[in-house]
Amino acid sequence: MITAVAQDAVGAAVRRRPGRPRDEDIDGQIVAATLEIIDAGEEVTVSRVVARSGVSRAALYRRWPSLTTLIAAALDVGRMVPPEYPDDVDLRDALFDGLGLGESGVALSVAASGYAEERFRQRIRLVMSDRALQKAYWQSHVSRRRVPLLNALRAGVARGELRPDLDVDACFDAIAGTAYYQIVVRGDRMDDPAVAARLRAAVEVIWRGMVV
């Protein structure tokens, strides 16, 4: 049975309708079942997905030829590709807002990105133990979410606001890396005000190296 939490996570696609379900309903059932297994800390297997989702093996394989791509899709439930930034955006503010570190002083929260911290930790555990999954998740999901901010930084270079030799991908990695270091290496909570302050200080240093 699909739990209410999983239904909320994948939206209307997991709600069964009378009669034969549409393809997107089956997709949603499969993804929701996979996410439940992940959240329970269990190994994702075809047998478990079939049993929990109620769909046949044939239906699963038609839609997901590999568990790797299915798990990557489940890990991304609740995440969105941000919209493009307007041409007149303040780039420094955009960097801080991207980490949930706006001028309001609100501490960074993994939940703000669509994840509870426990799910974030489960995601890290899974991708670090499976390089193929790590690459699949990067290529199909994570890399797309970088594009709006990367485009804004490239526009800043073109306008002369940022250094002409700036490697925007490296800057993004440096900024995102400061956040990952807190939870993955230091083991801190991302809603800790001290962590937010440390992140703001790190991004300020990176920003000073980006501007002309």
Q: Does residue 3 carry a pLDDT above 50?
A: no
> Which whole number is the average pLDDT over 175-183?
88
Residue whose C-alpha is closest to residue 66's, from 96, 98, 19, 34: 34
- The total of other beta-carbon atoms located within 10 Å of residue 126's CB is 19
162 by DSSP, 3-state: which?
strand
What is this structure's pTM?
0.77
Q: What is the mean pLDDT of residues 32-53?
A: 94
Q: What is the mean pLDDT of the chain?
A: 83
Beta bridge partners of 157: none
211 by DSSP, 3-state: which? strand
Q: Is 81 part of a structural domain of the chain?
A: no
Domain count across the chain: 2
Is residue 37 pLDDT above 50, yes or no?
yes
Same domain, 139 and 169: yes
- In this structure, the answer to whether residues 153 and 120 fall within a common structural domain is yes
Indicate if 116 and 173 belong to the same structural domain: yes
Query: 134: Cβ–Cβ under 8 A, 6 or more apart, which residues?
Result: 127, 128
Lowest mean pLDDT among 37-41, 103-107, 130-134, 160-164: 103-107
